[in-house]
Amino acid sequence: MVTDLFKLEIFIPRSHFETLREALSSSGAGHLGNYDSCLSWSAVSGCWRPLKGSSPYNGIEGVLCEAEEYKVEVCCSAEKLRDTVSAIRSVHPYEEPVINIIALTALKERIDRNQYYEVRVEADFAAAHYLENYHGKCENLHGHNYRVLAHARGDALSEGGMLLDFGVLKKALREVCESLDHRNLNDLAVFAGNPSAERIAAHIFRELKQRLPEAPLSAVDVYETPGSRARYGVSEKG
């Protein structure tokens, strides 16, 4: 994911802190939600050695120098980053100012994890099966009118404003369901002799991913009856 939030760390003489703070505010850095001018600063010690050809604000060529500085930390959006760096350089007294730019991709992903789009399509098929080693009536050959739901989930939309075209996902789901329709599912090696609802859901999910490898498929539900559902999906990872 491309980040849209950065943290900037700037090291500057204390004498120039207020000028820097005004420049950051004017450039749009430090704007978080309904607040602006958000930043922090702390006192630090710095050292440097000006080399031949340098024009140091503080120090002597060839001599290791030390001084007290402020470390200023501020957040900045991607669209404001270029202007903010230019604003910092325009008020910074150092010939080579230290400006650390840190992408906050991981933070943004954590913030966005519970914000997503989801689409769902539905298809059905009728098939027979029996379950080996079940020790109940489902050991006998019987049939179901299976109802199948395919879910896709993501946090980004296409230029057309869609997460995934309903028609594309529905076509793929219908193709997979048609391959199972009016079959004895025990005859299909993929189910290893036990075509449970869980295994059927997993099979349909994998078949959909083969047909639509770029689709953000998140889960497949298989209903044997209106009140009995099995789901196969991908887990969210933190």
Ranges of each domain in the chain = 5-112, 117-233
The pLDDT confidence band at residue 134, using thresholds 50, 70 and 90, is confident
pLDDT at residue 193, as a whole number = 77
The tens digit of pLDDT for each residue in 61-111 reads: 999 999 999 999 999 998 899 999 999 999 999 999 999 999 886 544 454
pLDDT, averaged across the chain? 91
Count CB neighbours of 218 within 10 A.
19
CATH top-level class of 5-112 = alpha beta
Pick the more confident residue, 162 or 193. Answer: 162
Distances 166 to 10, 52, 159, 175 between C-alpha atoms, Å: 48, 66, 15, 14
For residues 200 and 146, is the Cβ–Cβ distance under 8 A? yes
Pick the more confident residue, 80 or 134. Answer: 80
CATH 3.30.365.10 fits 117-233, yes or no: no
Query: In what helix (H) or strand (E) does residue 145 lie, and over which residues does it extend?
Result: strand 142-154
> Is it the case that residue 60 has pLDDT exceeding 60?
yes
d(CA 75, CA 78): 10
List Cβ neighbours of 18 (8 Å cut-off, separation of 6 or more). Answer: none
d(CA 227, CA 38): 53
Q: Which residue blocks in the chain are alpha helix, DSSP H?
A: 17-27, 78-91, 105-112, 166-180, 197-211
Rg (CA), the chain: 30
Question: Would you state the structure tokens that stand for residue 25, as one six-digit string?
Answer: 């505010």
What amino acid positions are annotated as catalytic residues? 138, 182, 224
> Is it the case that residue 207 has pLDDT exceeding 90?
yes
For residues 152 and 219, is the Cβ–Cβ distance under 8 A? no
> Is it the case that residue 152 has pLDDT exceeding 50?
yes
